[in-house]
A and B are shown apart, each in its own frame.
Chain A
Amino acid sequence: MSTQSLQKRESDLANSNRQLDILSGGIFKTGELPTFKDKIAETNQFPLKPKKLEILQINLGYMCNQVCEHCHVDAGPDRKEIMTRETMLQCLEVIKNTGAHTLDLTGGAPEMNPDFKWFVHEASKAGIKDFIVRSNLTIIRANKKYHDLPDFFKEHNVHVISSMPHYTRGKTDKQRGSGVFDKSIKALQELNARGYGMPGSDLRLDLVYNPSGAFLPGDQTALEKDFKKALKEDFDIEFHNLFAITNLPIARFLDYLIASENYEDYMYSLVEAYNPAAVSNVMCTNTISISWDGWLYDCDFNQMLDLKVASKVQHISDYNEALLNDRKIIISQHCYGCTAGAGSSCQGSVA
């Protein structure tokens, strides 16, 4: 496993235009597979439009303590893009006035932003109903200064969503790096000790599963059952829900697909599993994604492809929810990842 981001490696694919070329070239150019636009047009769902805004997802930066092979953010310790306090202040203004009921902080490892705690503290005052932090678990054990995170999360009633590729050490470490499994288990036990994830507890702890390879996630309910059983039996760990998320063919996962000669087969699998019923609930229909430097996107994936919202308003500094809600969502072939099978979003299945 590489320990550097594509950007640091100066890979071709660090360039979002190159990724977009790949996604619209090859089998999609020759017509062997239909484009996402043509596919959703079959059921009159083009252009894709937002519904009511429910979630503000803020990316606090691309810095991360891990360098997972499948990462769609191309995050890592070598990424220096992190949100400044100035942009955070602009976000806070928006959070205070938004109609969205959920605030979702992501990264990278959002906790690595030096102003993370300050921001969470301020944002929690806005009275948002569901306040999510996407924590990769190992960060809690990475350094002494993060050891108090479980208490901090509890204090602010944060809803923790964490990635856990598998309930076995082998599969987890293969995707995320050696030692990740043991650290994650320890972090989960600490969260449990604070009441997180316990049956009936208001302190929500959900896990995210994404496949460790060029295949789609299986049935979310069945996977949740297997995860619950194994984590309980082996480590006495409890959690609330498991979200099964499909890997989208962008950034490092795209790099992996191409290098392992799985790209075409994977795109075939995504198109074959296309479910028209999932389209109306894809994430971009109820989410606005905000980047570390304050630009607005339809989703975190479009952010990584640098596809800014198609609206007069493109930056947090002139945020206008009504105008934004009138936009057309920008799509490309990576969107097939959101509509495969039961669909996939940051909250798991959608159909």
Chain B
Amino acid sequence: MQKTYYDPADLKKFGKISEWNQELGDKFFDYYSKVFEEGHLTAREKSLIALAVAHTEQCPYCIDAYTKDGLQRGITKEEMMEALHVGAAIKSGATLVHGVQMMNKVNKLEM
């Protein structure tokens, strides 16, 4: 058994998930590649969204993959960091907006 939960080499094996369920695996990978095709959004924009979400999901595999993808597309590190702040702003916003719930509850319970 490996000693750590994450191994960078596992990313290369992602495709193997289909081996234990070919049909659903195929459907997933078809869907996945379709999503990233050039559409109303450019493939470049999608790559930046993926990078931001990879961070909010804190998925090391996705961070590895979409950092490299961004470099391949000529995306600069400044653009990448800006995308991350969008993710981070939504994350912190999502935390703080729940403060309203807290405030509602306090207001209801306190005399």
Contacts and interface: CB of A to CB of B under 8 A. Distances in A.
A222 B68 contact: no
Interface string B50-78: 00000000000000000010011110111
Contacts of A168: 76
A226 B71 contact: no
A239 to B, nearest CB: 15
B17 interface: no
B50 to A, nearest CB: 14
A217 interface: yes
Contacts of B71: 211, 213, 215
A222 B44 contact: yes
B3 interface: no
**Could you say which of A166, A218, A219, A268 has the most chain B C-beta atoms within 10 Å of its C-beta?**
A218
A37 interface: no
A218 B73 contact: yes
B interface bracket (residues with beta carbon within 8 Å of A): 10 to 19
A217 B76 contact: no
Given A226-B44, A268-B12, A218 B76 contact: no
A interface bracket (residues with beta carbon within 8 Å of B): 10 to 19
B86 interface: no
A117 interface: no
Contacts, number: 33
A216 interface: yes
Given A222-B44, A226-B44, A170 B72 contact: no
A268 B9 CA distance: 11
Contacts of A213: 71
Given A215-B68, A268-B12, A223 B76 contact: no
B12 A170 contact: no
B43 interface: yes
Interface string A226-256: 1100000000000000000000000000000
B72 A216 contact: yes
A39 interface: no
Contacts of B42: 222
A186 interface: no
Contacts of B74: 166-167, 209, 218, 223, 226-227
B44 A215 contact: no
Nearest to A171: B76
**Could you say which of B68, B73, B74 has the most chain A C-beta atoms within 10 Å of its C-beta?**
B74
Given A211-B71, A213-B71, A268-B12, A222 B43 contact: yes
Interface in A54-113: none
Contacts of B68: 215
Interface string B26-57: 00000000000000001110000000000000
Given A168-B76, A223-B73, 15 more contacts: A166-B76, A167-B74, A170-B77, A211-B71, A213-B71, A215-B72, A216-B72, A218-B73, A219-B43, A219-B73, A222-B43, A222-B44, A227-B74, A268-B12, A272-B12
Interface of A: 166-168, 170-171, 209, 211, 213, 215-219, 222-223, 226-227, 268, 272
25 contacts: A166-B74, A166-B76, A168-B76, A170-B76, A170-B78, A171-B76, A211-B72, A213-B71, A215-B68, A215-B72, A217-B72, A218-B72, A218-B73, A219-B43, A219-B73, A222-B42, A222-B44, A222-B73, A223-B73, A223-B74, A226-B44, A226-B74, A227-B74, A268-B12, A272-B12
